[in-house]
Every structure is written in structure tokens, then in C-alpha cells.
């Protein structure tokens, strides 16, 4: 049987993707088939859409964040049943979720609590779990610390601000001035206009010259490098878009800790315990959403047909919050 899907006909052809027909997938052992209701858009889609991936066959389907209803469970699946409302961060080496149906591993999904919409749930995984992983699994962020979160108006930064604030940290973030009101509403104590200010100098001023305890860099190598100037003695940096120059930064006088975050590659790790953390992070963040302690950051809901144009917009790196595609009613 066929299904509707947004087809990527070849590497580099993301702008030309069209909705077409593809064989409906079947769940293998430990897997579930999900009827997708909403899919979240992420930078990884336009990056891999342009760069391709060695494990893909074409036509490929992009999309890593899905929310929907379990239609069928494969052999050896326990704890998840047909009819469950679930959200997941999929394996980008497999066919993705800009489609009517998706398949994923049962142990990496979270049940969506009543009262949380498919659109809000679909906005969470890639950006939200990355923020969660960086803050709590890697840096062990704790009450009383100060954190510098880059690109607070983006998906990862927007979730990180809220999680850090909920956990009792003082939050400094970077954003262009037109987005300062937005990041402050999310909980940032201070917003630095990185386009007109030296963010490292400003972060040092805001911490009386001591520096911040933690940095979450979401921008890239140069930004991560510069961020080291803003770190306190024994400070930590988590980077998700390229490492700082670690070898040059090692110093007896100013000892730092460096954390790499690569959320989705856990699918290829063969490490089931680590894979389960996707579900655990989802459970925690969905509970915060349900309790009104987290904003899902959904700024725009689009159709499947509108995904290619929205990915091009996302690639400008100016989008605020999250864009979600509604796939089915
Ligand atoms: N390693 C991993 O596991 C992992 C996971 C998730 C994402 N990522 C990567 O992390 C990056 C961020 O992802 P995202 O989903 O948060 O992206 P996003 O939502 O597209 O971020 C867009 C935001 O970035 C801000 N921005 C752009 N350049 C900036 C700069 N130099 N300084 C401060 N803010 C800046 C823009 O705000 P302004 O208009 O205010 O500049 C915009 O609102 C992407 O490269 C993504 O691929 C990696």
C-alpha cells in the first residue's frame, strides 16, 4: 500500500521536493508504525537535504521530529500499543517523517499526555532534547549557576532558556535586539545584542568579571571559541554546532570542561540504554508542557506542501522559535 510523502529525489534537491507516493513502511522487530499528525522542522533537514547521507536511497523522506498515533506494533514491542499518542526523534539515516506514516524504535518514543497537542509535541524533540541533554546530562546544570545560552530566539536556545530558568539558573542569552522581548518572555534575565555588542565582554561585565559557569553554544566554531573568554574558572561549555579549539584552550590557570552534544547519532550507537534517554527526556519535557511550565515555541503551523519553502526560510538562520507541519487532522 502507498502513502503520501514529501519526496527528496536526490542529494541537494531539497528546494524541489514535491508531495508524491511512496510505499507505506512496515515496522520490524522492536519498531512501531506511527500515523503522523505533525512534524517539526529543524536545521538538520536543510543541512542533510543539501548534503545527503551515505545510507539513503532515493527518493528519500526528510524529517526527524514526529508526533502521531501508533497504528501497528512490530514483533517484540512491549509497553506501546496501537492507538497510543506518541512523539519521537527519529533516526536520520532512515526515511523520515514528512509523510503520512513513519517507523521508529518503540523504546525511543514518549507518550503524549492528554492536553498536549500533536503540534506542540512535534516541536520538542530535536531542539528540546538537545537543550536538555546539554544542560542536564552533560553539564549537570544546577540552581544558582549562571549560563550563557547562544541564539536564545532559536529552537535549541529557546528551550534551553526555559529549562535553565525552571532549574533556578541565571540566564544570559544572545539575540538580535528585535528578539529581546521574546527571549525575556521565555525567562532570560539578560539579553545581549550580539550584532552590536561584544558578547564575551558583556557576559564578563554581567558576572562582575568572574565569568559564566556554563555556556551552550548553538552557533558554530568561532562563536564557541569566543565564548571561552566568558567562562569562569572551572567553567563548562557544551557545543552542538562545532567545537571550540580545545587543544589551544587547555590551560592550568583557567581549567575548563568541554562537552560535545550529538543527539541523533545515538540511534546508530547500538547503545539501548543511551537510546532510552530520548524517551526519558521527552517524558520530562512533555510533563513540563502539560503543567504549563514550558512553551513549545510554535510560531508557525504549515502544510506538508509548504515544508520546502519553510526549510529555505529556516536556512536563513533568522527564524524565531519553531515551525511545525500539520500532516493530518
Ligand atoms: N549537535 C546536535 O545534536 C544538534 C541538535 C540540534 C541542533 N543542532 C544545530 O544547532 C544549531 C541551532 O539549531 P536551532 O534549531 O536552534 O536553530 P534555529 O532555530 O534555526 O536558530 C535560529 C536562531 O538563531 C539565531 N542566531 C543566528 N545566528 C546567531 C548568532 N551568531 N548569535 C546568536 N543568535 C543567532 C537567530 O536569531 P537572531 O535573528 O536574533 O540572530 C534565530 O532566531 C543548528 O546549526 C543545528 O543544526 C545540533
The full DSSP string for 165-186 is HHTT-EEEEE--GGGHHHHHHH
8 A C-beta contact, residue 108 and residue 278: yes
Burial group, residue 231, by CB count within 10 angstroms (0-12, 13-18, 19+): buried
Q: What is the pLDDT of residue 315?
A: 97
User: Which residues of the chain are under the pLDDT cut of 50?
Assistant: none
Burial group, residue 209, by CB count within 10 angstroms (0-12, 13-18, 19+): exposed
Cis link prior to 59 (omega < 30° from 0)? yes
Cell of 63: 524529517
Q: What is the pLDDT of residue 327?
A: 98
8 A C-beta contact, residue 216 and residue 131: yes
Which domains does the chain possess? 2-124+288-326 (3.90.180.10), 127-260 (3.40.50.720)
318: which residues sit within 8 A by CB, 6+ positions away?
none
Q: What is the pLDDT of residue 180?
A: 98
Q: What is the rounded CA–CA span in Å between residue 152 and residue 149? A: 6
Q: Model pTM greater than 0.95?
A: yes
Q: What is the pLDDT of residue 41?
A: 98
Q: What is the pLDDT of residue 106?
A: 98
> Helix, strand, or coil here: 178?
helix
Q: What is the pLDDT of residue 177?
A: 98
Pocket of ligand 1 (CB under 6 A): 42-44, 47, 126-127, 130, 150-151, 153-157, 174-176, 179, 194, 218-219, 223, 240-241, 261-263, 314, 317-320
Q: What is the pLDDT of residues 101-121, one digit of tens each?
A: 999 999 999 999 999 999 999
From residue 227, give the alpha-carbon distance in Å to each of 44, 162, 193, 238: 23, 21, 15, 11
Specify the residue with its C-alpha closest to ligand 1, atom 39.
Answer: 318
Q: What is the pLDDT of residue 227?
A: 98
Question: How far is the centre of ligand 1, averaged over its atoms, from the C-alpha of 154 (Å)?
Answer: 5
Q: What is the pLDDT of residue 205?
A: 98
Amino acid at each position: 500500500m502507498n502513502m503520501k510523502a514529501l519526496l527528496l529525489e536526490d542529494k541537494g534537491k531539497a528546494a524541489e521536493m514535491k508531495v508524491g507516493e511512496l510505499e507505506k513502511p512496515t515496522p520490524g522487530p522492536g519498531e512501531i508504525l506511527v500515523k503522523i499528525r505533525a512534524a517539526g522542522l529543524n536545521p538538520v533537514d536543510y543541512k542533510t537535504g543539501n548534503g545527503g547521507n551515505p545510507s539513503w536511497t532515493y527518493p528519500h523522506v526528510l524529517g526527524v521530529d514526529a508526533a502521531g498515533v501508533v497504528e501497528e506494533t512490530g514483533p517484540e514491542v512491549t509497553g506501546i500499543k496501537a492507538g497510543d499518542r506518541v512523539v519521537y526523534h527519529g533516526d536520520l539515516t532512515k526515511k523520515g517523517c514528512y509523510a503520512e506514516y513513519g517507523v521508529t524504535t518503540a523504546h525511543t518514543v514518549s507518550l503524549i499526555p492528554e492536553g498536549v497537542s500533536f503540534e506542540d509535541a512535534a516541536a520538542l524533540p530535536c531542539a528540546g532534547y538537545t537543550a536538555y541533554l546539554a544542560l542536564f546530562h552533560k553539564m549537570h546544570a544546577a540552581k544558582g549557576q549562571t549560563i550563557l545560552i547562544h541564539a536564545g530566539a532559536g529552537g535549541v536556545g529557546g528551550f534551553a532558556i526555559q529549562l535553565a530558568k525552571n532549574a533556578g539558573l541565571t540566564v544570559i542569552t544572545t539575540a538580535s535586539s528585535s528578539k529581546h522581548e521574546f527571549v525575556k518572555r521565555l525567562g532570560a534575565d539578560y539579553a545581549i545584542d550580539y550584532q552590536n555588542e561584544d558578547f564575551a565582554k558583556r557576559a564578563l561585565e554581567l558576572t562582575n568579571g568572574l565569568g559564566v559557569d556554563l555556556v551552550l553554544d548553538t552557533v558554530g566554531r568561532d562563536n564557541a571559541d569566543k565564548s571561552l573568554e566568558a567562562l569562569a574558572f572551572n567553567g563548562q561549555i557544551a557545543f552542538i554546532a562545532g567545537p571550540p579549539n580545545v587543544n589551544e584552550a587547555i590551560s592550568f590557570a583557567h581549567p575548563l570542561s568541554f562537552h560535545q552534544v550529538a543527539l541523533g547519532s545515538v540511534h546508530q550507537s547500538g547503545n539501548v540504554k543511551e537510546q532510552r534517554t530520548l524517551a526519558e527526556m521527552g517524558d520530562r519535557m512533555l510533563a513540563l508542557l502539560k503543567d504549563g511550565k514550558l512553551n513549545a515555541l510554535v510560531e508557525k503551523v504549515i502544510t506538508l506542501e509548504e515544508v520546502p519553502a519553510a526549510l529555505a526560510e529556516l536556512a536563513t538562520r533568522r527564524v524565531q522559535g519553531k515551525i511545525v507541519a500539520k500532516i493530518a487532522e
